[in-house]
Structure 1
Amino acid sequence: MAIIVKRLMIIGIFLAIYVFLSLWIGLKIWQYIGRFVPYLNHKLYWIIYLLISQSFLLGKLLTGHLPVQLSRSLILMGSYWLAIMSILVLVLLFTDISNAIFSNFNIFQNSLLSSPLSIGIFISFTTLLLFCYGWWNAQNVKLSEYDLKIDKKAGHLKNITAIAVSDLHLGSIVNKNRLEKLAAIVKETNPDIIFFVGDIVDEDPEPFIEQNMKQVFMELKPPLGMYAVPGNHEYIGKKWNEIFDNLHLAGITVLRDEEVLVDNSFYVIGRDDYYMEHFYRQKRKSLGEITHNSKEKSPMILLDHQPVALNEAAENGIDLQLSGHTHHGQFFPNNLITKKIFECDWGYLQKNNLQVIVSCGFGTWGPPIRIGSNSEVLKINIAFQ
């Protein structure tokens, strides 16, 4: 019951903030832009604005009650609005602060630059410029390379090259074309093993199935296999079994609180998502329960979607933990928030004998826009003792 109340409180706070910002932005757009548009009266403006600004919530809430294409179109439109909204919050705050400073010091007063229309043009141009940059930045994938050493013997293996990808969010927005771009990057690196660190499919498996995305995964044939763990988005849509079945058909081993000994050389341990308890009141196993049969002298690589249990990993002899989830905020200044929430929200961290790498993620949640973060694929060169 406490978990449900906590979730409802979080949702309520989020909705209150979202509605407040939507109304504030709506008033500002009318003040600086809307009232100068020919034939657009106040009532028509608010009808159009509210439809656009609430389309994401409408699409999500009415999924299953509307025709599929209509709900997807609403979600797509709403996703782009979320990006524009994030940009507008910053641009409008900058505009209001600048206006206050200029007014206080009597700068640009009674000039063309201080007119609402001029300010509206500035807001429109700046928002469009940042939106285009964010879209371009999200499409350009960065290959982040790490050279690591694990001081344990791994059978006959002296070193391996691993590719790790988190937060693909495959669906209607991050589609098969984007997945094929990822596959091309992976093939160029010729990895020994591939890890998918959660949020592979974005809630609804239908676009994954319709676009036959599994075929792209099947073309990747690393000699030591492909392994994945669930993220929170596999569970949100309540179709996780269908998602996991399709990943299995694509040749990916999904690890849910279990471990596997790879090539009789090293262990790959996969944890179920941390939010399992929040969504379904079902706790995931402790790391000690999962690894109690492991040979301590063998290297242990942990896949855990959210970087939230680093102390537990360090205490249980994990050598390398790979995580994602944070997107490094995806939009500035969200990265300042994720940095406060997580001990490591992006990049590399050494914690005693534990090495941690947290990825920005390949895909995006909501709009395919990134400002202040990159879309990335991890290439990890691991040398064993």
Structure 2
Amino acid sequence: MKVQPRFIVLISLLLTVYAALNFYIGWHMTEWSSAVGIGYSPYGFWIPFALLAYGFLLGRIPLPNPLKPAGRLLKVAGSVYIFVMEIGLLLFLLADAVRLVLWLTNGVSEAYIVGSGTVVLGLIALLLLVGSRNAWSPVVRSHELRIDKPARRGKTEWTVAVASDIHLGNLVGRKHLLRLVERINAMKPDLILLPGDVIDDSIEPFLRNRMGELLGRLQAEHGVYAVLGNHEYYGGHMERYVEEMKGIGIRVLRDETVEVDGKLYVAGRKDKTAEASGPDGRLAVRELLRDVDPRKPVLLMDHQPTQFAKAEEAGADVLLSGHTHRGQFWPNHLFTKRLFELDWGYMRKGAMHVVVSSGFGSWGPPIRLGSRSEIIRLKLILQAR
């Protein structure tokens, strides 16, 4: 495939900007180190710092088997640094704004360099602790949804457990997955729905750490269903993933609709990523729901929270999405809030209920600020006949 010159220029520009931002952060750290009297070797600082700054990218390079653990460690460390870089950049810019005012008035003393650097580094450490706690301590959020359709066979209430964006991989592993299984099974749900991004790109950690054994312990009277998220597409192991899920009793719906015990429907769309393969990459929602009985409730999973109006017009009663992570950490939620009609929480769209989860796992840094790792508990209430 021929690489376009415009693409090369864009990548070069992005790498240059990224390098400049990291140099800015590294320079502040060396300046503070010198001010407080901590000696360092330029090579001893900048080489490890560069490995950390580019670790998330370098850790994705295929390595021989003996070196793979080192590559995974580099990827994990680099992912944490993504948070440090973003928060550090904002805090150092704020400190430099004050510094500029001081320089224009009375000058900048070494005491300010020591004090501001100490405060910034201390805040980064504190936010790392708080953010880690938010990422690894999931909460259960409950929503009671009334659906104006008659119950079938006397079942007027359904408990539905929802967990999106688990991102099982090198960062989110068996320990966090066990929390998910225990909390969901404690709900004794009628139905369990997983609206995409169950794995984080590569399926290799999922297989190597036998995460399927744990995921297969999820229990619901009427089954467990999932849909594909963008990360299942990115990993390039989609068919293997679908087979692995089938082997543990979880059906992955790819533009499919299932009638559950004659009482309601669960529909699952392919992820929006499929549209890149052409106009037939995934079904329009009206086509997906064309043959459902409109007298029965329809629960629709679509990983990315888009096309609410079309889903409501097609007859969905509940739309479940994830994908956004609610920005995962501040101030990213300011962008996701503008990008999506609903980036987190609940809204009513005509007769349809929409619930968008911030997700159970994390992408990149295992850090959450302004969001929490969460499981959704839905209580569906139907009309008594």
The 1-side partners of 2:9 and 2:226 are apart by: 32
Return closer, same or farther for 1:9/1:350 CA change in 2, 3 Å cut-off. farther
- The alpha carbon displacement at 1:296 in A equals 1.5
Q: 2:85 matched to 1:100?
A: no
The 2-side partners of 1:64 and 1:313 are apart by: 44
Partner of 1:138: 135
The 2-side partners of 1:158 and 1:69 are apart by: 51
Q: Determine if contact 1:161/1:191 at 8 Å carries over to the other structure.
A: yes
Partner of 1:125: 122
Partner of 1:233: 231
Q: Determine if contact 1:87/1:131 at 8 Å carries over to the other structure.
A: no
Q: Gapped runs of 5+ residues in structure 2?
A: none
Q: Determine if contact 1:163/1:191 at 8 Å carries over to the other structure.
A: yes
Q: Determine if contact 1:35/1:41 at 8 Å carries over to the other structure.
A: no
Q: Determine if contact 1:91/1:123 at 8 Å carries over to the other structure.
A: yes
Return closer, same or farther for 1:12/1:69 CA change in 2, 3 Å cut-off. same
Q: Determine if contact 1:199/1:231 at 8 Å carries over to the other structure.
A: yes
Q: Determine if contact 1:217/1:251 at 8 Å carries over to the other structure.
A: no
The 2-side partners of 1:219 and 1:254 are apart by: 16
The 2-side partners of 1:321 and 1:6 are apart by: 39
The 2-side partners of 1:10 and 1:199 are apart by: 28
The 1-side partners of 2:92 and 2:109 are apart by: 20
Secondary structure at 1:33's aligned position in 2?
Answer: helix
Secondary structure at 2:150's aligned position in 1?
Answer: coil
Q: Gapped runs of 5+ residues in structure 1?
A: none
Partner of 1:283: 281
Q: What aligned pairs does 1:320-359 form with structure 2 within 5 A after superposition? A: 320-359=318-357
Q: Determine if contact 1:7/1:278 at 8 Å carries over to the other structure.
A: no
Q: What aligned pairs does 1:39-54 form with structure 2 within 5 A after superposition? A: 39-54=39-54
Q: What aligned pairs does 1:73-88 form with structure 2 within 5 A after superposition? A: 73-88=73-88
Partner of 1:316: 314
**Matched pairs, number:** 379
Return closer, same or farther for 1:82/1:279 CA change in 2, 3 Å cut-off. farther
Note the alpha carbon deviations across 1:158-215, whole angstroms, 9 max, x for none.
1100000000001111100110011111122111100001000111112212222222
Partner of 1:69: 69
Secondary structure at 2:146's aligned position in 1?
Answer: strand
Greater Cα shift, 117-126 or 278-287 = 278-287
Secondary structure at 2:376's aligned position in 1?
Answer: strand
Letter in 1 for 2:47: I
Q: Determine if contact 1:158/1:383 at 8 Å carries over to the other structure.
A: yes
Note the aligned Cα RMSD (angstroms). 2.5
Return closer, same or farther for 1:181/1:5 CA change in 2, 3 Å cut-off. farther
Paired-residue identity, % = 35
Q: Determine if contact 1:331/1:372 at 8 Å carries over to the other structure.
A: yes
The 1-side partners of 2:70 and 2:110 are apart by: 43
Greater Cα shift, 65-74 or 139-148 = 65-74
Note the alpha carbon deviations across 1:203-259, whole angstroms, 9 max, x for none.
111221222222222222210100000101111110111111111112111000110
* TM-score, with structure 2 as normaliser: 0.91
